[in-house]
Structure 1
Amino acid sequence: MAQVRRIKLGSQGLEVSAQGLGCLGMSVFYGPPKPESDMISLIHHAINSGVTFLDTFDAYGPFTNEILLGKALKDGVREKVELATKFGLRYSDGKREIRGDPQYVRAACEGNLKRLGVDSIDLYYQHQIDTRVPIEVTVGELKKLVEEGKIKYIGLSEASAATIRRAHAVHPITAVQLEWSLWSRDVEEDIIPTCRELGIGIVAYSPLGRGFLSSGPKLLDELTKEDYRKHLPRFQPENLEHNKKIFERVNEMAARKGCTPSQLALAWVHHEGNDVCPIPGTTKIENFNQNIGALSVKLTPEEKAELEAFASMDNVKGDRYATGFLLISRQTRRHSLRGKPLKDMPSAMSSFAS
């Protein structure tokens, strides 16, 4: 099994495993919730394998994923991990709302701590930006939580470059979480350079294109009716025929290199820099083992350039999320959607899935 190296995430002192584990799919979005005992075994296997950076969110369930991690982190396990969770979505009267006001930030953090059964959160992200509240106000409250010891480091998710700068001026931002993979590369234009200028770590969610870069079009045949990926634009017939060409090229190169397509796609993310930590999610130990094998895959500059040539932003058809569900898209990364009625969306998509 590949050795999981450690990296410095950002310039504020946080050290994590070079690859993390996204826990969303254990509880929601990717079909029915998985058996709790199996998921706890998977989490323990990940930790024992050296993957100690765990990512969750109170909206996954809602709440059930944090409760699951709380159970997994008992009996001395907590001290072995770097725990990341998020706040920012509130459900009320059948609607979801982005919240960043100080009162909500504090209340959300108390709930996170209770469900996770911990005294402090290692990395606490604002999941989306509340455009009604100046980011300086939100980060000001997070700064107080750091001073009180309830959180150790502050992160942002799906934020614009301008927002990242404003937030960082109030209190150092340790990491920005964003979607980054071979077929989601728009962040390379200004967000990644901004993070690097400011010494902010980068956490890449969905580094396998929600499974498409692992399995290609056949992934759709394996999805249950509850799986929200069935609704994603890139998986729709009008886009799938075009997008499958990207997978085919990745698969061809993987065969040449003697690795799997998912290992090659993950290796590309790792080769983007030592300030980048991908957090692929899985619910199967065999897939987890395959994912950490990506750490042993080496790419030459020529191979990296070849991958990027056929997986450029312009070569992908379809947006990241469906209209109405799309909180921040390729075109609207600087805006947020508030108050979308849950009844107007597929039930599996009632929260933002990262």
Structure 2
Amino acid sequence: MTQRLPPSLTPLEIALAALLDGLAPLAPVELPLSDAAGCIATGTPLLAAHPPHDIAAADGWAVCANDLVGASSYSPLPLTKVPQWVEFGEAMPAGCDCVLDADAVEVSGPLVQVLAEGVPGHGVRRAGSDIAERTRAGAEGYPVGAADLLLARVAGLDKLAVRRPRLRIVNVPDATATMHMIAGLARAAGLDVEMREADARDEASIADALDASSCDVLLTVGGSGVGRRDATVAALVRRGEVTAHGVALQPGRTVAVGRLGQVPVVALPGSPDAALAAWLAMVLPLVDRLSARHARRQVTLPLSRKIASSVGIAEVVLLAEEHKTWRPLAVGEWPLQAIVRADAWSLIPGNHEGFAAGEPVDAYLMRE
């Protein structure tokens, strides 16, 4: 069966509203720290101070600085006993507030002398200097980063509570490269990704692969166009419902959205540029809703040259940062080299004609 796009494409905001309708954030899950990276933090725990007491920040002699005033190699200061030697990370002995280097103390039989003054705090890591009392491991509503994981590990945690949508990707044959690109983006965004392959490009084979059990979002890649071998939308109609096929989005106008039961489905085109644009403009808002993610950070810079846009079509533009300006790399269809070189992207609404050179433009970073 040959599919045909509607004579008028569905506006992006309407298609997106249908996709998000009735969706609520997922329940948090506790994951091992190695699995929590990139996931959206929730219920971030309050950490105890670390270190819990003063510790040695270097190997050396633990001493009290006030007891060493005037000591030097020209005027050694004799001591009545050998000071305590400490290794990095060991607790500082009571009454000691600095650590001297190994060669700053001479021990010869019963004779002990100091060859340098001490500075309070030298060679010492103070209690709570690494982690202040009641510091949180991660920021609510934001991705868990490497620094958050470091704090959690140092504090002795082995798990964190996060929201992690389960994503299933069904690849329609001939779209494998695009599917792997989308899967990589999804993993970087903290999603739990499972990939499946349709046996063929026909409606029945694709419908057999559309299984929404044990997932929160279902994506298909390929077969959403109007060619004779594009049967993904027909397969989705057979298994569930389609709320929009043909969206006023450039690139990406053959994207389709629907549901399998209560699970939202986005049918991405097989072309890398169209799939990426639909991922940015439609799938990321869906993932953010399910993850209860706070607003993504935008960077505002002036344009180095103008961007012209067609009224009635929302357009995703790729940008490169150049001399503290945004330089447009691609509008409309994107060559692969533009995707590789892009630092950021911006969405031009369908009611907007574009931006003049020098005009400030808000953009989302491709790699946060």
- Higher RCO, Cα 8 Å, sep 6+: 1
Q: TM-score range by the shorter chain?
A: under 0.3
Find the structure with the greater CA-based Rg.
2
Q: Scaled by the length of structure 2, what TM-score is found?
A: 0.23
